């Protein structure tokens, strides 16, 4: 694991294991990770929002895109622990589980009121 990224990896792994990849229309975690790896910090939020929008069958409007980007930012823009070791991984994994639930709730709210 790349030094300094233990918490981020644990968070994304937990999110993915919870089924987060399905929110983006992927059939398996590997395809999700490979596609996400092609994104960077600048393109990832818009790419994620587009994948969610298309998977959920939401309209292609600026409002929907912006609401999804806000939901993604809210779910993933959390304070992660620094350092390394089992406590860091456990705390970051909990943040990943929380991110999955938060994003799922936000998508459901948008689906109810597009």
Single pTM value for the model: 0.87
| Whole-number Cα distances in Å, 30 to 91, 99, 101 | 23, 19, 21
pLDDT tens per residue across span 50-101: 999 999 999 999 999 999 999 999 999 999 998 888 999 999 999 999 999 9
Count the domains in the chain. Answer: 1
Convert the pLDDT of each residue in 33-55 to its tens digit: 899 999 998 999 999 999 999 99
Q: What is the domain range of residue 12?
A: 6-112
Q: According to the model, what pLDDT value does residue 5 have?
A: 85
Range in 3-17, 27-41, 92-106 with the lowest mean pLDDT: 3-17
Look at residue 77 and tell me if it is in a domain: yes
Residue 1 lies in a domain: no
Instruction: Give the tokens for residue 19.
Output: 């089924």
């Amino acid at each position: 694991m790349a030094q300094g990224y233990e918490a981020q990896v644990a968070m994304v792994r937990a999110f993915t294991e919870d089924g987060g990849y399905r929110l983006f229309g992927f059939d398996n975690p590997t395809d999700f990770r490979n596609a996400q790896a092609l994104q960077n910090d600048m393109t990832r939020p818009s790419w994620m929002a587009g994948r969610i929008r298309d998977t959920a069958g939401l309209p292609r409007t600026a409002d929907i895109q912006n609401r999804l980007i806000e939901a993604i930012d809210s779910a993933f823009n959390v304070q992660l622990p620094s350092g390394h070791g089992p406590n860091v991984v456990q705390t970051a994994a909990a943040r990943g589980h929380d991110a999955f639930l938060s994003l799922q709730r936000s998508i459901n709210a948008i689906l109810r009121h597009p």
